[in-house]
Amino acid sequence: MSWINQPWPWYIAGPLIGLVVPALFLMGNKTFGISSALRHFCAACIPANIKFFKYDWKKEVWNLFFVAGVFLGGVICVLLIPNKADIVVAPKLAEELLTYGINDYSGSVPKQLFSWESLVTLRGFVLMVFGGFLVGFGTRYAGGCTSGHAISGLANLQLPSLIATCCFMAGGFLMANIILPLILSL
């Protein structure tokens, strides 16, 4: 069990993730993506007269089961094979984060950033609520999420997915190097 309790190297995890794309294609001409599940869920559960949700969502029910399996897999891992080790943070990064008052790496994420207590702070609200809104808006605006575009879209040689993935990467660099330090200073 020790092999499953530690991060897998990229040369194992990457190809396994990559094999999901042809497997879904061969099993039923399906594409990999997570964000579309929210649309299917809303179409199934919200009986409204909204054009965006008026389609045969039952043809995409497999996606709801896929997302439920991802969630349940996470729950099972947390309960049965928890990682009790502290987060491993590079010394230089830990030194920089300390200047923002972040030093508790005892859970899966730093508690000074992601906890119920930090949610009521300006910094926590901006990171969790406003950031979550931007992720949702960006996913809809881009026509899919990072997994849909960067894994399925690139594997299918779709130009919009290449453009979206380049924008995701540029946005990530901008966020990590310019915007996040400003937010952490709040």
Per-residue pLDDT at 86: 77
Residues 155, 21 contacting (CB under 8 angstroms): yes
For residue 107, tell me if it sits in a domain: no
119/65 same-domain check: no
Per-residue pLDDT at 77: 84
Domain extent at residue 131: 113-186
Task: Give per-residue pLDDT as tens, 119-128.
Answer: 899 999 999 9
Per-residue pLDDT at 161: 92
69/8 same-domain check: yes
Mean pLDDT, residues 61-65: 89
For the whole model, what pTM was predicted?
0.75
Sign of CA dihedral 9, 18, 16, 172: positive
Q: Which residue has the higher pLDDT, 33 or 1?
A: 33
Question: Is 18 a residue whose pLDDT tops 80?
Answer: yes
68/142 same-domain check: no
Question: Is 46 a residue whose pLDDT tops 90?
Answer: no
Mean pLDDT, residues 40-47: 85
Task: Give per-residue pLDDT as tens, 143-178.
Answer: 888 888 988 888 888 999 999 999 999 999 999 999
Sole residue written with tokens 């709801």:
64
Kindly report which listed range (24-28, 88-92, 182-186) carries the lowest average pLDDT score.
24-28
For residue 66, tell me if it sits in a domain: yes
CA 121 to chain centre: 23
Q: Which two three-digit tokens encode residue 79?
A: 């309960």
Residues 33, 62 contacting (CB under 8 angstroms): no
Q: What percent of the chain has pLDDT over 70?
A: 99
Q: What average pLDDT is seen over the chain? A: 87
Per-residue pLDDT at 1: 67
Number of domains in the chain: 2
* Cα-only R_g, the chain: 19
Mean pLDDT, residues 3-30: 85
Question: Is 83 a residue whose pLDDT tops 80?
Answer: no
Helix residue ranges per DSSP H, 29-155: 36-45, 61-80, 91-98, 116-119, 122-125, 131-142, 146-147, 154-155
Burial class (CB in 10 A: 0-12, 13-18, 19+), 117: exposed
Run of H or E residues at 17: helix 10-28
7/78 same-domain check: yes
Between 61-80 and 36-45, two packed helices, what is the crossing angle to 10 degrees? 110
